[in-house]
């Protein structure tokens, strides 16, 4: 997939870009930039595409994206609240080419290398990360740099999950990305209803065969496989965050019958939807006191 290149504007007086987004929904197409990014989701939930990994995001989540790692965030269709996030973007050489090569920064250098695959931090450490990010946003001058170094130190000790595969597989250029962004937006807006290849190919302004080749080459899965993943992602969100029955969730996620949903879900998760909900709620209960500041 060819991501949109984002030009990050930073002040000449600052080494870091500390930004906040707030609006009815995230305006975040599939894009990339050479800066490293630390992202905190303050409000909203939905689906995210990190490299070629499709996942769900929720309030409080924190991510670390390495240079040129494509990412996209789409709000859930039923989410009518406010979407807000804080993010820090910085160049790997923001403090000089050799800064992170210092012996004291070995763990930080390792973290930044791992960020090329995208990292999602565990719920148990989110409160400390939120506080460290707030300290960076609140400080200025030299104290801002000190707070940022402390944030990086916090992240090095935080358990995290890699999100995607080897980063060298992702393009670092921006070639005709509007087409694929339109397709993704259409899929995520309409996955609950029947979607046919010909319809989505029309959105891309390509023939079905040309679109199928493009999609497979860049998304690394077929259109039908990706559509199923989007629907399963939505079903996981609903199983965790709602009291709807499994049958209701299956149809609301776009599956045309319950047995089809159960088959796809068990193949993907290796457990039934009911067991997934039980496990997720048990985990959620252990972290019920955690929330975004």
- From-to residues of CATH 1.10.10.60 in the chain: 178-285
Q: Is residue 72 a contact partner of residue 29, using CB atoms and an 8 Å limit? A: yes
Average pLDDT value over all residues in the chain = 84
List residues bridging with 63 in a β-sheet.
39, 120
**178-285 falls under which CATH superfamily?**
Homeodomain-like (1.10.10.60)
Residues 6+ away with beta carbon under 8 Å from 228: 264
Q: Annotate 72-96 with b (16+ C-beta within 10 A) or e (fewer).
A: bbbbbeebeeebbbbbbbbebebbe
- CA torsion through residues 147, 164, 265, 213, sign: positive
Check residues 186 and 3 and name the one with the higher pLDDT.
Answer: 186
pLDDT at 177: 64
pTM of this prediction?
Answer: 0.73
Beta bridge partners of 39: 63, 87
pLDDT tens digits for 58-84?
999 999 999 888 888 888 765 557 899
The C-alpha atoms of residue 224 and residue 191 are separated, in whole angstroms, by 11
Domain 4-169, CATH among 3.40.1180.10, 1.10.287.130, 2.60.120.280, 2.170.150.70 = 2.60.120.280
Length of the chain: 293
User: For residue range 240-260, what is the model confidence (pLDDT) as tens digits?
Assistant: 888 999 999 999 999 999 999
> How far is Cα 170 from Cα 155, in angstroms, rounded to an integer?
24
- Beta pairing partners, 5: 32
Q: Which residue has the higher pLDDT, 165 or 138?
A: 138
Share of the chain above pLDDT 70, in %: 85
Question: How many other CB atoms sit within 10 Å of the CB of residue 99?
Answer: 14
Tens-digit pLDDT profile for residues 91-145: 888 888 788 888 999 999 999 999 998 999 999 999 999 999 999 999 999 999 9
Domain(s) of CATH 2.60.120.280: residues in the chain: 4-169
Residue closest to 71 by CA, chosen among 108, 38, 93, 25: 38
Which of 159-168, 172-181, 248-257, 278-287 has the least mean pLDDT? 172-181
């Amino acid at each position: 997939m060819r991501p949109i290149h984002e030009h990050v504007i930073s002040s000449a007086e600052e080494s870091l870009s500390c930004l906040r987004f707030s609006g009815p929904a995230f305006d975040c197409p599939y894009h990339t930039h050479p800066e490293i990014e630390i992202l905190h989701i303050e409000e909203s939930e939905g689906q995210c595409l990190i490299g070629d990994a499709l996942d769900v995001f929720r309030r409080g989540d924190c991510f670390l994206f390495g240079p040129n790692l494509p990412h996209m965030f789409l709000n859930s269709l039923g989410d009518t609240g406010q979407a807000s996030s804080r993010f820090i973007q910085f160049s790997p050489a923001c403090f000089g080419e050799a800064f992170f090569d210092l012996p004291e920064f070995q763990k930080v250098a390792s973290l930044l290398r791992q960020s090329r695959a995208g990292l999602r931090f565990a719920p148990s450490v989110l409160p400390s990360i939120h506080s460290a990010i707030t300290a960076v946003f609140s400080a200025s001058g030299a104290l801002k740099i000190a707070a940022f170094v402390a944030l990086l130190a916090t992240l090095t000790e935080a358990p995290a999950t890699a999100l995607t595969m080897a980063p060298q597989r992702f393009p670092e250029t921006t070639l005709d990305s509007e087409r694929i962004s339109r397709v993704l937006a259409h899929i995520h807006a309409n996955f609950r209803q029947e979607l046919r290849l010909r319809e989505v190919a029309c959105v891309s302004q390509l023939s079905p065969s040309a679109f199928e080749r493009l999609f497979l080459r860049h998304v690394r899965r077929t259109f039908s496989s990706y559509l199923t993943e989007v629907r399963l992602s939505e079903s996981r969100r609903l199983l965790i965050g709602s009291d709807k029955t499994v049958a209701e969730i299956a149809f609301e996620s776009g599956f045309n019958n319950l047995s089809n949903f159960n088959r796809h879900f068990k193949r993907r998760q290796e457990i039934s939807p009911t067991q997934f909900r039980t496990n997720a709620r048990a985990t959620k209960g252990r972290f019920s006191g955690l929330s975004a500041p």
